[in-house]
Structure 1
């Protein structure tokens, strides 16, 4: 979503289209999707260019008519890229390291849960019809914050367990599906506007349960990958007996949730800008209505399970098709799965699993292109029409003072294409052998492969495809990502007196290989949209990449008489990403619990269950950096017509693991089997953070990846489950959870604060704390935009009286109309203090009814969209209706908004900082299971019909669409909102 700066620059480029130069801009990221500051961007062969800013954005003027112009992108440690500009106005670049031979190294993934920890189990993930399993977890577990940063179907959902635990390192949890590790590194990214979700390839109907691992005792066996928690997904397995079938069909519609966001109609727009209504012939276009539509969803799944005591199987096929609420956006998936378990002998068990998914994701663009329906829906004036007087669509809108963008997305969107086609598959085999007298061996081996093609096509007559020299362009990126994982574990279990002892020793190895190539060209005759038809400006690029992990892991557990539990684990992990001197890291955990209700002295008259538990341990983080971040690298290219190489990245042989120290104390208490409460207190310190550290100029390099700094997340989690009513034909159950999290950057090891125009990362503050000038409103004397000075050195009254910009605000504070004189303040955190949810489930004579409420409070959102749509009349973008309110009109008036036509008031400040608090009715479901006597004669074992609603209502003061589609940095710009979804479904078992 962080695309506002270059979007604004793109608009400036359009307005200056008749000049001799044009504006080129874009965003530069690494292979992990992290933005890259300090990248050199030059017109090849010249010294003309710029350097990317802290957010990875760049922009500068280039010659308008030069079809052979090439941009060179270079950065220490990354491969230089040369890109022919052609007719492009936006060039986003992903930069990767030069591929070199890696040394064999490490990783692990294994789940083991004992009673020294609390592991919430999430079920019933199917009534919410969504392509992303992670979205079904919203509000269902304490300590788990989930944000759908866009409504784009198939896009990645951000999940944070117990806060944001890293600065540059990865912050998403690890996913483990049937013992196989899957993380964001496995998902191919490309030219789409939104990241793809690794779970969008998983059929939710195949899931048996989901377990969330948070504390040290639960996550330690995942060591190197468990820094941000683990989500363990178990798919359905076969059962001995007659083969049974299950068919699920769901169909739904969705539409935009407007919230408090309302743009002006033509009459309001004409009045706001003081236009002559007669000039616009009664035109009143609702561009939002043209950009958004009623989306449709179809979900069909059929599965079978059965077998005998020796061999059991589960198999399924599925089809999911979601049409997004924004035109040009959709997601389609075909999926299949086969799980087989075979008890070959009394001692040997074999398991086999294969799953495959073919998906198609169309992305309508979130605002980085002129033809974007999202950008146009926010910007276009209601006095403009996409149709001419004869009712024909304009190819481009007539250029007038009130036409901020001449691109007509109504015409362009059906013709252009931004498509990701992905084939995702996995095969795994498991061998379990009972060796002798409590000693057993288990080997799990898997290979996962994704092959993806990313196609971006601009039709010649569209605004982004038009060029007088070579109209129409196409770019295709083909990628392949294969990951092999083998886990081998030796287990021992024995009884010792009244206790049980277990020990585990094992290794795990993971090897990933990634290949990428892209080709593109321009000059396409209509209607051809294939590379073979291009006639000019052909470009090509490609690279390979890889990483390896290796781990040795061990664990021992002991319980005595079902009352006292002890556990300990140790892992040694190595990664090819780290320096040769510090490639390996050691991680451990210890845990203990006391089951008090099993003591003889304990009376269960009131309290039926009571358990105390605690754990401490360390986990590691190796994600979020490039695969060659520690290496000294050379760049190869051409110098004076000859092959040449230059030192490209400084080596850091000491680069090593980011480490998280986890401490957790908690208790579980139950009351007469009716109410159960779980409470956890945690403290998690991330140290040796993986940071891009600036270097002094004499080093010859801009930055180096180092271990520096620390941050802390601490908090409290409370979960209550209550069986309120338990009768034969009526039950009522309530699940409630709430979490308090406090985040603080405790050290940067002498590194200067990491700041953008709107937030800061520095010692003593929570990560991403908003840091900006404090908005006053209008200067009462003249209506100019004004900010508080917040001076560190007090300003005397005489200094104020003798200044042209300083004045005393009505509250007596010193204010200024000169933006540069307003010192920045710490204005709040984008991270909520409290998050939670409450589910109520009712069953009455076959009728089931449930609803889910979610909430968060204590966070801020920077609504950057308002800098365009709640401005002061200097640009002719459409405005929100509230832009007319509380605006200065007369001397002496106190007002929030400055006078109409004033400039500078849209600069970054607390003017656009809003509370992110909300209470949401996330889901409501009503179902009915037909009585057995009705369906038995038809050979059916279960028939259930239901209707479900999602995102139905939100209570909030936020003035955008919804506060639920905001990244964790709190920056919201031109959001693609979530939709209101109404779904009807049918489940049949036979």
Structure 2
């Protein structure tokens, strides 16, 4: 036996030596051809074998290969695959080029992923890298102009304020118009989550740097699988997952400043200008401005007093600072991504600011070869400091800063804030910001956990269960320092909770080589509850400013509760024949507690098909065509975005004959149902010459069963009922293009852009031909016209003979009598086109990117000008500089009406076209210059990478609106709003 053992040992030794003689070790480094930076996680394999490895964080690799191995294959997502002949080499360094744009990109879609060659629906994507460096607090602000057909309108420039997003137009009057947001597969709460906070945007809880990609589902084929919530499109957000390899860290720091946007030399009058304006108005009224006995006494001596530019007094340079650290890595069983972020933004108005802390942990763990589990948890804390905005309050600094007279002193002789401001109801917003305590806080948890099982290679079963909670508290304390009536306190506590379960089973296989099939069936359930408590306490103690010290008997309190549930069953079919012909179909049944007992269940569906023309044999000779795809789809989705209990008859308290009781206040409607949105889409995708990438889409979407209040006979005991009785139409065309002009080792230059045209038309309003919008007579909904139409008196200018305002009556005659003015319906706040374009230039370690957005064809109404360009009607207020261009002598044209002190002609009516202006603009949205240290310097510093950058946002806007900024909300009549701001930030990013 000893001889046999010795003999076997000799054979084993000889075999080992022979094996060693037949292999060799190859080492090398993988870098990017664009910036020479190392690329971790690159897959390196020996062609024709299962041998392989991945590059480390420094891009280095080492691989033992057979002596006769011929080719190494280098592959990485987003990069072109490289095949390198080994020969006699033992060191192989490779630089990877970026993948041809668009063709093979992975696109996140509803309940799965696809690629551009396989998609049948109209979708748009934005990568996390495209929004990471923008100085935005919430992700919705980062979508402006980046995707064709997606319009983002800011209601406020206040940090953390939410935006209105419209995908292919506006589809409803009374139901919501914002899209459904889905984060990591789970629909989430959106909008303002704190009634006490203008900056309570629920989406601000997401850290933009945590986002891997954003996909916008625009047509029915892409979105209808979300059923009753998909009528306004769907925004899918995918957060970052762990990367293969050892743990790596990234640390970021960002600092910046912001200031009020003003690119049209817009502003208020100086003291000299205002005094001249007022003296002329007094003379025009037949009075003497130097008569001390006259109520309009305006002596020149006013200019010798201390003067204040109140708009400057109300504003400051805002500050931005942000710090973040994240880590990602993996082992044999799992991978993870975690981050911690702190953002502090002080607004351009005193008393306005936002503090935000977010933390995220994403983890995936392979329990067995067939069983995987993981979770996504996002925690956030948001505290917003606020002042009264969004209205023409005396304490609104944006409005008061323009109206308070320049000779009104800012401080008393003792150096305290001046309260004797008669023209502003003795309110001083600068002091209000200092003494009053107004804030809102949100504590938010967004988390889900999944379990995925693959009992067979072709079958995947997955359950995902999620919870989202938002606990909010708010405080509005009016100090006795700012109110003669004493200190007053308002507090609120709110809570939102959403529980969701999503369960799917998927079969995916390739049959007979050419037939790819994917079938998915699923079930979802959601329960959403909300509650609040509100307390009002006047007369609280300044020493103990809490409810308990309020005036006994005057304290008021109320609370509320709401709940809604949704149960869904759905299915999808994807079929692909030979990568040429694709078919997708989906169906979903939703049952909702929001609707009437007779109509709680609805069925929604879609069907889409596409043809990869470039894969046909007759295209073989056209080598410049890399992708040519024709798409078509049709589907039905719904809109359930209404408040709870609208289908129920409700009661309200009422007093009768000295007794308080309950009476019916709203009738029930057991047939109340969701609005339906049917749409078709025809699209063409193409990639030419490897560098020109684009798509064109034509669509039409029709809303039926639109929810409206219909007048009912008073004999029913009610004046109206909420019914499904309206319809409207949206139609448009979209174009998106990207072109890589240069793509060399040292220089890469690409450009891109998109434009979309959309037109709405109201088809039916029940028994009405015209209804008012939100009880505002200036905007109407009119059958046969756009969704929003201004209804304004027709102002035609100034009579050059006497300086009086002129109006056109219904017969077309011109008159200086405002009471004879007729209405015009020729203008709308809806843009006819929207879009954006960008350019990116990379040279060695430097990168310069610029992004522009534009909008046009819409009009905005500047209501504030009723007071700020008043023609003498508001003699106790400052005026805009543009009001200096007024009629002075016969023959003057292109001017404002002559100012007359106490003007009662209604020449300054805010219900006229006088203050209506074109809202077109082109905005330089973002310009970013960055530098990545070369790999040689990085290696010397013994870090993974270092990047410096500076970014400017909203740095210039080309527009003709006589205001700080052209955006006025989706209805075009926003007033007293926090104007848009400009910002410049600089940052540093370290990886190790």
Map 1:332-347 → 2, pairs under 5 A: 332-347=355-370
Q: Where does residue 562 of structure 2 map in the other structure?
A: 545
CA contact (8 A) 2:708 2:765 kept: no
Q: Deviations over 1:696-755 (max 9, x none)?
A: 322222322111111111111111110100000100011111111111112113224112
Asked whether 1:171 is paired with 2:177, we answer yes
Aligned counterpart, 1:944 = 947
Determine the structure 1 residue equivalent to 2:816.
Answer: 817
Partner residue in 1 for 2:24: none
Q: How does 1:753-832 map to 2 (within 5 A)?
A: 753-755=770-772, 756-780=776-800, 782-791=802-811, 814-832=813-831
Q: 1:917 to 1:398 in 2, by over 3 A?
A: closer
Deviations 1:493-550 (A, max 9, x none): 2222211111111111100111111112121332433223323421110011111111
User: Does the CA-based 8 Å contact 2:948-2:989 persist in structure 1?
Assistant: yes
Q: Distance in 2 between matches of 1:840 and 1:386?
A: 47
- Aligned pairs for 1:232-311 within 5 A: 232-260=236-264, 261-274=266-279, 275-311=298-334
Note if contact 1:112-1:221 (Cα within 8 Å) is conserved in structure 2: no
Per-residue CA distance 1:217-268 (angstroms, 9 max, x = gap): 1101111111111111111111232101111110100111123321101111
- More displaced, 597-606 or 712-721? 597-606
Using the alignment, how far apart are the partners of 1:678 and 1:501 within structure 2?
A: 26
Match of 1:203 among 199, 203, 207: 207
Shift of the alpha carbon at 1:630?
A: 0.5
> Counterpart of 2:913?
910
Deviations for 1:604-639, whole angstroms, at most 9, x for unmatched residues?
A: 32222100011110110000x220001112335777
SS of the residue 2:536 aligns to: strand
Q: CA deviation at 1:368?
A: 5.0
Report if the CA contact (8 A) 2:162-2:201 is conserved.
Answer: yes
1:633 aligns with 2:683: no
Q: Note the C-alpha offset of 1:930.
A: 0.3
Name the structure 1 match of 2:62.
Answer: none
The structural deviation recorded for 1:591 is: 0.3
**Which residue of structure 2 aligns with residue 671 of structure 1?**
688
Measure the CA separation in 1 of the matches of 2:784 and 2:810.
20
CA distance in structure 1 between the partners assigned to 2:319 and 2:200 by the alignment = 20
Post-superposition offset of 1:690: 1.6
Would the aligned equivalents of 1:427 and 1:447 in 2 still touch at CA under 8 Å?
A: yes
- Deviation (angstroms), 1:889: 3.6
Q: Does 1:436 align with 2:456?
A: yes
2 CA distance for matches of 1:284 and 1:776? 37
Query: What is the aligned counterpart of 1:384 among 408, 425, 430?
Result: 408
What is the CA–CA distance in structure 2 between the aligned matches of 1:558 and 1:412, rounded to whole Å? Answer: 64
- 1:324 correspondence with 2:347: yes
Q: Which residue of 1 aligns with 2:527?
A: 511
C-alpha offsets along residues 156-196 of structure 1, whole Å, 9 cap, x if unaligned?
111111111111110111111101101437x533133x363
- Counterpart among 487, 501, 509 of residue 502 in structure 2: 487
Equivalent in the alignment of 1:882: 882
Residue equivalent to 1:225: 229
Q: Which residue of 1 aligns with 2:611?
A: 594
Are residues 643 and 488 of structure 1, via their aligned partners in 2, closer, same or farther at CA, if it must alter by over 3 Å?
Answer: farther
Which residue of structure 2 lines up, in the alignment, with residue 619 of structure 1? 637
Where 1:278 maps in the other structure, the secondary structure is helix
CA distance in 2, matches of 1:888, 1:981: 39
* C-alpha separation in 1, matches of 2:750 and 2:611: 28
Match of 2:932 in 1: 929
Q: Which residue of 1 aligns with 2:190?
A: 184
SS in structure 2 of the partner of residue 485 of structure 1: strand
Residue in structure 2 matched with residue 898 of structure 1 by the alignment: 897
After TM superposition, the structure 1 = structure 2 runs for residues 392-431 of structure 1, keeping only pairs within 5 Å, are 392-394=416-418, 396-399=419-422, 403-431=423-451
* 1:854 equivalenced with 2:853 (yes/no): yes
Pick from 532, 535, 544 the counterpart of residue 528 of structure 1: 544
Question: Which whole-Å CA distance do the structure 1 matches of 2:850 and 2:700 have between them?
Answer: 32
Q: Report the 3-state secondary structure (helix = DSSP H, G, I; strand = E; otherwise coil) of the residue aligned with 1:385.
A: coil
Which structure has the greater CA radius of gyration?
2
- Secondary structure of 1:377's counterpart equals helix
Other-structure match for 1:75: none
Counterpart-to-counterpart distance in 2, 1:853 and 1:891: 45
In structure 1, the residue matched to 2:100 is: none
Q: Helix, strand or coil for the counterpart of 1:835? A: strand
After superposition, the C-alpha distances for 1:877-897 in whole angstroms (9 at most, x for unaligned) are: 211111121x33445755542
RMSD after superposition: 1.9
| 1:226–1:111 distance in 2 versus 1, CA, 3 Å | farther
3-state SS, counterpart of residue 120 of structure 1:
strand
SS for the counterpart of 2:963 is coil
Structure-1 residue corresponding to 2:723: 706
Match of 2:153 in 1: 147
Residues 841/892 of structure 1: CA separation in 2 closer, same or farther (3 Å cut) = closer
Shift of 1:640: 7.0
User: SS at 1:688's partner residue?
Assistant: strand
Structure 1 residues without counterparts, runs of 5 or longer: 1-107, 792-812
Which segments of structure 1 move beyond 6 Å, counting only runs of 4 or more? 637-643
Q: Does 1:981 align with 2:983?
A: yes
d(CA) in 2 for partners of 1:816, 1:621? 47
Do the aligned residues in 1 keep the contact of 2:200 with 2:442 (CA within 8 Å)? Answer: no
Asked whether the 8 Å contact 1:240–1:309 carries over to 2, the reply is no
Work out the CA distance in 2 between the residues paired with 1:861 and 1:639: 46
- Structure 1 residues 948 and 155, CA, compared in 2 at 3 Å: closer, same or farther? same
Cα pair 2:272 2:303 within 8 Å, conserved: no
Change (3 A) 1:604 1:417: farther
What CA distance in whole angstroms lies between the structure 2 residues aligned with 1:263 and 1:860? Answer: 23
Distance change (3 Å), C-alpha of 1:933 and 1:667: same
Size of the alignment, in residue pairs?
Answer: 848
- In the alignment, the residues of structure 2 paired with residue 753 and residue 339 of structure 1 have an alpha-carbon distance, to the nearest angstrom, of 51
Contact map agreement 2:190 2:203 (CA 8 A) in 1 = no
Partners in 2 of 1:432 and 1:977 — Cα distance? 48
Give the TM-score taking structure 2 as reference length: 0.83
Q: Is the 8 A contact 1:772 1:827 kept in 2?
A: no
Residue of structure 1 equivalent to 2:577: 560
**Any idea what the Cα deviations from partners look like across 1:939-981, whole Å, max 9, x if unmatched?**
3111100000011111111111111x32111113223111110
Change (3 A) 1:560 1:109: closer
Question: What residue is the counterpart of 1:49 in the other structure?
Answer: none
Q: In the superposition, relative to structure 1, how do residues 295 and 129 fare at CA in structure 2: closer, same or farther (>3 Å)?
A: same
User: 1:372 corresponds to which residue?
Assistant: 396
Indicate yes or no: 2:761 matched with 1:741: no
* SS of corresponding position for 2:301: helix
SS at match of 2:410: coil
Distance 1:391 1:647 in 2: 57
Alignment partners' CA distance in 1, 2:659 and 2:111: 51
Q: TM-score, length-normalised on structure 1?
A: 0.83
- 1:689–1:189: structure 2 CA closer, same or farther, 3 Å change rule? farther
Shift of 1:564: 0.2
| Inter-CA distance 750–535: structure 2 relative to 1 (3 Å threshold) | closer
Partners of 1:884 and 1:279 lie apart in 2 by: 19
Aligned to 2:274, what secondary structure does the other structure show?
A: helix
Residues 327 and 413 in structure 1, CA contact (< 8 A), matched pair in contact too: yes
Instruction: Sort the Cα spacing of 1:240 and 1:607 in 2 relative to 1 into closer, same or farther, 3 A.
Output: closer
Match for residue 674 of structure 2 among 637, 657, 670: 657
Which has the larger displacement, 232-241 or 895-904? 895-904
Match of 2:490 in 1: 475
Residue 73 of structure 2: aligned partner: none
Whole-angstrom CA distance in 1 between matches of 2:421 and 2:143: 48
Q: Displacement of 1:593 after TM fit?
A: 0.3
